[in-house]
Each structure stands twice: as structure tokens, then as C-alpha cells.
Amino acid sequence: MKLHDLRPAAGAHTKKTRVGRGIAAGKGKTAGRGTKGQKSRAGSSIPPWFEGGQTPLHIRIPKLRGFRNINRIEYEVVNVGRISAAADAGRLPEGEKGAPIAVTQELLRVAGLVRSLDKPLKILGGGEATRPLFVVADAFTRTAREKIEGAGGSVQLLEIPATPLAALGVEPAATEAPAAAPRATKAKASPASVAAEAPAAPVTPAEPAAAEAPTAQPTAGGEAAPAPADEA
């Protein structure tokens, strides 16, 4: 085979269809658009969702309700029954004789019960606990806690500190005393309440009554003698 004998595969290259070049070409006159109508006009562009004027499908179906909670926590979940089955099958390491089997997220990852360690672990109450287990997880359902403790095991909840902790080897800074709360302003009191709250005036002893004026004494002539005037 020579270089000039090479040819592309049959049908790999086709010539461009030339329209509007007469009826002899096969695509003359109407150029393959048919006679009249919206699609035969120049500038015709019908969107894919257009259904001829009736209500389109994306308008007929109901809208998605609700919202996406930005504070939602995605858990790695596993049931109590699956943990017990894995322990019975020997997929979880045994502890000391008579001691409950320790269960952590890392051990569950090795046993193939959870997929990743990036999400917090939550234990659900599906199935039954057949042996004592010591489970450490980020969250437990009430049923899971009851079943684990009912089989003689115990649970430990991992708590995330609410405030950042100091680095290792660094003493935490002394906490400042809380600022005093601003004093509340008193509402304008009514005169009656002011009078009720006002301290009572001290009671002073009553002054003795003034001495009575001397009465006139009768004289020998029968006339009353005038009372003596007060000395200046």
C-alpha cells in the first residue's frame, strides 16, 4: 500500500448540504423548511420547553417545599445490632477476660461498619445488644443507650468544648472580671408613691401647756382685785 492509496473510512467525510440552489440540487426553493409556518421563517427560535402555548411541564409540577438547614449535622450512623454482630464474629478486638468490648469510631472503621472518620458518630437502637459493650460516640439515641446498658455495658459521650482551649504548654490567660451591668433607670414616680417612700418625720415630745393666768381674788370690799400684770 502506498501513501496515496490511503482513504478515509466510508461515510467519515460528507459534503456540506447546499440549500437554496435550485430544484435540481434537491434543496432549492423552500430549502428543506417546508411551506409557511413559524419554523419556515427567518429568525425562528423555539425553546426546547415550549409546548405550543399550553402550560409547560416545569410549571405544572409542584415546587420543592421546605428549606435546607445550614446547621444540620451529618452523622455516621450504626445500629447496636450490627455492633453486636461484629463483636460476635470477632471483627472487634477482645479486651480482658470478663471486660466489655471497647467500641470506637476507629475500630468500627476497621470493621467496615462506618465509611469515614470525618463525620461524628451516632449510635442507633436498631437490633439487640447480645454482650456487654463500652461504646464511645458523639451521640446516642435513647433506645441505643437503654439496650447497651441493659446488656451490662456502658456508653461515653464525646463532648466538644464550647470555647477554644489553650495549646499544650501554654497557660490559659486569666479571665477578666465581667463588666458591671448598667444601672437601670428609675421610672418617674408619682407623688403618691414619693409620699409613701418618704421617711417619716421624727416625733418630738409635746411642749407643756402654758401656765394658766392667775384668777382675780375678791377683796374685803367685795370687789375683785385686778390680776397682776406680767412682769416685763
Enumerate residues 6+ apart whose C-beta is below 8 A from 194. Answer: none
Question: Which is more confidently placed, 203 or 75?
Answer: 75
Q: Residue 13 corresponds to which cell in the numbers above? A: 467525510
- Cα 24–Cα 27–Cα 33 angle in degrees, nearest 5: 150
Fold of 76-157: Ribosomal Protein L15; Chain: K; domain 2 (3.100.10)
Cβ-in-10-Å burial (0-12, 13-18, 19+) of 146 comes to middle
The residue extents of the domains of the chain are 76-157
Q: Give pTM, 2 decimals.
A: 0.47
Integer Cα distance of 76 and 83 in angstroms: 14
| pLDDT (average), residues 21-41 | 92
What φ, ψ does residue 122 adopt, rounded to 5°?
A: -130, 130
Residues 166-209 pLDDT 10s: 787 788 776 655 555 556 555 555 555 545 555 555 555 555 55
Residues 76-89 pLDDT 10s: 999 999 999 999 99
Give all strands of the β-sheet with 76-79 in edge-to-edge order. Answer: 76-79, 121-124, 139-140
Task: Give percent above pLDDT 90 in the chain.
Answer: 54
